[in-house]
Amino acid sequence: PDVGGPATHAPEFAAFLLERGHEIEVVITADAAPAEQPYQIRWVSRAQPAGVRHGRVVNAIVKHAAQADVVYATSMLGRASLGSAVARCPLVVKLVADEAYERARRLGLFDGDLDAFQRFAGGARVRVLRRARDRALRRVDALVCPSSYLASLALSWGIPEERVTV
């Protein structure tokens, strides 16, 4: 639904899986109903308040992961982690960013770069963001990192090496 990152990767990955005979269901947030695809898209409106929107995303993941072999997430890490855990479905995550860092910047809690954030003590809100990131990532069955740099960050956050793939 958006430009860049997961918005480009997800349809390409879905097409790749479809070509190999897999059934695909996608859960997204969007400003409007997405264009029809050869796979089912479950969407939650971004116009809803954050807590409501997040709850609906988790519910959609729980409902549809119950019949799935795996949940694959490129974003919405916390929601995907919680939904797959409730559904007792394995979780594979493509780690494309440090969500704690991204949120800290968006909230005005930090204004430096990613490396500096790893050394930044931060206050209570930053600690909560990091704990949420770490808790979600520790639930993953496999973590796919597009770079050695992101893999090294994941390892520094306590993700077991055997779950991390570059």
DSSP secondary structure code for residue 35 in this structure? P
DSSP secondary structure code for residue 33 in this structure? P
Which mean pLDDT values do the consecutive 10-residue runs of the chain (166 residues) have?
67 92 93 91 94 97 95 94 97 95 96 96 96 95 96 95 96
- Exposure string of 104-127, with b = 16+ CB inside 10 Å and e = fewer, is bbeeebbeeeeeebbeeeeeeebe
pLDDT of residue 124: 97
Q: Please enumerate, as own/partner, the contacts of 3-6 that have beta carbons within 8 Å and a separation of 24 or more.
A: 5/74, 5/75, 5/96, 6/74, 6/75, 6/96
Between CA 75 and CA 31 the distance in angstroms is 16
Q: Which residue has 């090496």 as its token pair? A: 161
pLDDT of residue 1: 46
pLDDT of residue 2: 57
Q: Which two tokens stand for residue 12?
A: 């390409």
pLDDT of residue 8: 76
Instruction: State the pTM of this model.
Output: 0.89
Q: Which two tokens stand for residue 49?
A: 């308040």
For residue 31, the SS3 value is: coil
132 — phi, psi (to 5°)? -65, -45
